Amino acid sequence: HWTKENRHHKTVFIFSDYIKSQLLYLMEFQLLTRLKKIRDHKKTQHQLLRISNVVGGNFAVFQKLRNLSE
């Protein structure tokens, strides 16, 4: 299991290897998205939400993952 502490929320996340891989994919996807400066922002956000649904199943988890990746 993999642990990551979010300093802002002071929360400890424990992910299985599968969830870790999804988190790394989410972070990589966000970086690629920013580098490419995709025009369709809403579509991009929708794709990120779909990934976050796989990771955690709700928007709150998505926000926390975004904070970890920034």
Please calculate the CA angle 58-60-62 and round it to the nearest 5 degrees.
75
Q: What is the mean pLDDT of residues 42-69?
A: 67
Secondary-structure percent of the chain, ordered helix, strand, coil, rounded to 5: 65, 15, 20
- Hey, what amino acid is at 15? F
pLDDT, tens digit, for every residue of 6-30?
A: 454 445 555 567 777 777 788 887 7
Residue 32 · residue 23 · CB < 8 Å = no
Q: Which residues of 2-30 are buried (b: 16+ CB within 10 A; e: fewer)?
A: eeeeeeeeeeebebeeebbebbeebeeeb
What does the domain layout of the chain look like in residue ranges?
Answer: 2-69
> Residue 56 pLDDT more than 60?
no
pTM over 0.75: no
